Chain A
Amino acid sequence: EAQVTQNPRYLITVTGKKLTVTCSQNMNHEYMSWYRQDPGLGLRQIYYSMNVEVTDKGDVPEGYKVSRKEKRNFPLILESPSPNQTSLYFCASSSIYNEQFFGPGTRLTVL
């Protein structure tokens, strides 16, 4: 089944404790992206990747890192999480200029 998976689905952590949210797709898509969704702000893009070893900042990259060592994986790294990074995070993938497939979301709470 074609899908985008994210782990974990729910995470509660404390300020400053490094964490990684994994994202994997099985559709051989070139393009992958991370978004955060906050009430009243809609979806905002954090980082995106056009292909392996190619990443670029989105609209709200501060406090986040990504890597794209393999085509199928695009982890989101929070080196030192802060409470303002409490949000609902989505990973998405697509072939270029086509519809995006979204993962189920990761709800992160930073205390």
Chain B
Amino acid sequence: SQQGEEDPQALSIQEGENATMNCSYKTSINNLQWYRQNSGRGLVHLILIRSNEREKHSGRLRVTLDTSKKSSSLLITASRAADTASYFCATDGRETSGSRLTFGEGTQLTVNP
């Protein structure tokens, strides 16, 4: 079953604007991860946030995690046309015996030049 659900499904913004994507999940987690995928290509890991962390930064990326609401957000600041891609959240559930990611369906981000 799909644990992570991204919102919105699609987002279109202008270059320079910020993009915010949200992810909700259902069960307890060890960590939550965000990935990026360019059309038809493999997924690339962006950032991992553990269940005891609330916020994490990496370059222009900022991820928050609220375990009480079972939700996370990914903020991309000062977006560029090259940020156009699909973004997925993935949860590593505590109920499984080890590292097993469950992906959402993704948010398609389009950054217009």
Contacts and interface: CB of A to CB of B under 8 A. Distances in A.
Contacts of A31: 98-99
Contacts of B99: 31, 50, 94, 96-98
B100 A48 contact: yes
Interface residues of B, number: 26
Nearest to B4: A42
A43 B102 CA distance: 8
Label chain A's interface by main secondary structure.
Answer: strand
A100 B101 contact: yes
Tell which of B41, B97, B100, B101 has the most Cβ of chain A within 10 Å.
Answer: B101
Contacts of A12: none
Interface string A40-57: 111111001010000010
19 contacts: A4-B42, A31-B99, A33-B101, A35-B103, A41-B105, A42-B104, A88-B40, A90-B43, A94-B99, A97-B30, A97-B99, A99-B33, A99-B45, A100-B33, A100-B45, A100-B90, A100-B101, A102-B42, A104-B41
